[in-house]
Chain A
């Protein structure tokens, strides 16, 4: 937020030619570093419009496969009995709008631009399941992700200045997936998208954690051996002060 004032001033001083674009927007930072003390992060989005209208912001994380499992009671305990695998599922998806999406644009237009949790597209790998069953599993996936704050649909939160300038804090939780994100900003008037812009965002582990994670994945054997040596050393060191006890 400390970047807010200079950026606003900068936007105010934008040359008049830029005003020909219905929407200009960008992020204060295109990189989020997950370090040891990471508890979540805010990235501030700034924008200017050439007049009234609704703004919709869609943040999309990298696609991953996901397995949804359903439990049933077997011999008195709840075990996973059925599962559906989905491919190309956004690992993070947030949509922010100035007013409720239903009031801003019709469902068909939202589907066209992939806006809203209802318009997430991903396919089930298992083809033999009935469409109703797949729909249940898909709904469960969205529900789980919403609980983890990885799928978000928020109304409001925009701060408008003099009707045309705005900023919005995009909040990411501590469990945010790493990778390449896209942030799409739409300006909507009378149910139609009249201006749009896309901005990249990269979220990555940084510092010691990134090194550890990367190493653990690429050199799993050496990582395992080092983990053992580290623990053994710690155990040995800790026994030294008590040697003569």
Chain B
């Protein structure tokens, strides 16, 4: 059954979209990541225009992260103080990102920029994850090793404008979360991702936050950054397809719940290795498409509707 997407102005099989949302939701449930970084490339693979894939993914992300953040909020695992500081940086970053997106679009380079950004980010991420999970598997076989200090104070924490974050038990410079929020905001606007896969490790290793509050706080700020990106994309570029986002969301919600249950029955290290391989496969496909000579060197864009 085909559904006509009003902004993308194309027809897509509604079951393909539901399945896509479901698969990405399932993966995000299993691995505890947002899944936006897989959703956008998959939408591009099935033929949704790059710009619309990015903006509609951001829209879908609002719903997905509300759902996730609520679960963490009920357990009291959100540091709102930290979330708001991240958010201030995030809004500035997403405004800059949407502006940059519009500029690339005018220059006719947006498709290439999105593919390239994904190929680089997913490639790097995949390799890091694979290395990390391999080490974890090896460490398991050598009991006693792998102890690490819970919180190390590094020079970055001593920058000016120090702030106290009670829930995270931290007293660090506010510039750090501001900069992190900004960077993830740019990613969110240009790539349609929540940036959880950058935010979560950065919160643990750079900010030094306790692991328990990391996913909730990350999801909390993603809600608002994704909301901001959606509105800005709608106004600046007119690329948000709300129908597409809602269909993906329906599939995603069901997938996420199934994924969460499935995820608890699997071992973490193997799971992360699996995700790393998946991420690398997507990166490889994107990189391949960028470097192989296209069938037609010419491409066409119609101006206005």
Contact = CB atoms under 8 A, between A and B. Distances in A.
A210 B291 CA distance: 39
Given A64-B303, A141-B300, A212-B243, A236 B66 contact: yes
B300 A178 contact: no
Interface stretch (B134-142, B197-205, B228-236, B271-279): B228-236
B301 A230 contact: no
Interface string B1-20: 11110110111000000000
Contact of B9 (A39, A72, A175, A234): A175
A70 B109 CA distance: 11
B4 A224 contact: no
Contact of B296 (A143, A178, A225, A235): A143
Interface in B257-305: 257, 290-294, 296-305
Nearest to B70: A239
B190 to A, nearest CB: 16
Interface string A134-176: 0001001101110000000000000000000000000000110
Interface string A216-242: 110011011111101111111011001
Contacts of B243: 209, 212
A133 to B, nearest CB: 12
Interface stretch (A17-25, A45-53, A73-81, A182-190): A73-81
Contacts of A38: 2, 4, 11
B242 A220 contact: no
Given A213-B7, A227-B59, A69 B301 contact: yes
B109 A67 contact: no
A224 B234 contact: yes
Given A235-B64, A235-B249, A227 B305 contact: no
B298 A239 contact: no
A205 interface: yes
B141 to A, nearest CB: 34
A81 to B, nearest CB: 10
B238 A234 contact: no
Contact of A232 (B2, B7, B66): B66
Interface string A52-95: 00000000000011111111110011111001010001010000
A236 B70 contact: yes
Contacts of B250: 234
A37 interface: yes
B253 to A, nearest CB: 4
Contacts of B257: 242
Question: Could you say which interface size class chain B belongs to?
Answer: 35 or more
Interface residues of A, number: 62
Nearest to A38: B4
B301 A221 contact: no
Contact of B4 (A35, A140, A216): A35
Interface string B112-127: 1000100000000000
Given A212-B242, A232-B63, A239-B71, A144 B7 contact: no
A104 interface: no
A144 B240 contact: no
B6 A65 contact: no
A115 interface: no
Nearest to A208: B6
B209 interface: no
Interface of B: 1-4, 6-7, 9-11, 59-67, 70-71, 74, 108-109, 112, 116, 223, 227, 230-235, 238, 240, 242-243, 245-246, 249-250, 253, 257, 290-294, 296-305
